[in-house]
Amino acid sequence: MDETVFTVFVGNITRWSSAYESILREFCLREAIDEFTNMAIRRNVNGERDFNLQEALVHDELLPRDWELLASVKEILAPIKEWTLKLQVRYSNGCVADILPAMDELLDHLEMCRVQFHSKDHLLAMVNQGWAILDK
């Protein structure tokens, strides 16, 4: 039986979409990540590993609220990724007729995100930064 093996990867600072891809991968591996961190934390608590070691996990787990935050970030970034892929296909030559619909849709999306995340300062800051870049 051929099984696909996924690994966790860290985003690349020079490519914004790598953060989105990294979050997608984390959701694919959510169960394994939770199981690994829970097992490592239990092992540390039971004294099988020295807490002074850097690799010791004590509280480095993704809580449900952390997964919710990642889901929100994924929701914010998804249309940007989609338009990036649409605009880099061979037949797109970067003309205004291709780019303006993307700008309109993305600004509308960010406006909806402003409303949706108005009470979450860190997400709202992300959305406002995206808005500022697109609104130039």
pLDDT, residue 7, reads: 73
Q: What is the mean pLDDT of residues 117-124?
A: 94
Q: What is the mean pLDDT of residues 103-132?
A: 94
pLDDT, residue 75, reads: 95
Q: Give residue-wise pLDDT tens across range 21-76.
A: 899 999 999 998 888 888 777 666 555 555 555 555 566 778 899 999 999 999 99
Q: Decide: pTM greater than 0.85.
A: no
Q: How many CB atoms lie within 10 A of CB 20?
A: 19
Q: Which amino acid is it at 107? A: L
Strands (E) located in 2-134: none
Q: How many CB atoms lie within 10 A of CB 62?
A: 14
pLDDT, residue 92, reads: 62
- For residue 53, the SS3 value is coil
Longest dimension (CA), the chain: 63
Average per-residue pLDDT in the chain? 82
Q: Which one, of 64, 79, 83, lies nearest residue 112 by Cα? A: 79
For 4, which DSSP code? -
| Rounded Cα gap, residues 28 and 104, in angstroms | 31
pLDDT at residue 130 greater than cutoff 60 = yes
pLDDT at residue 121 greater than cutoff 70 = yes
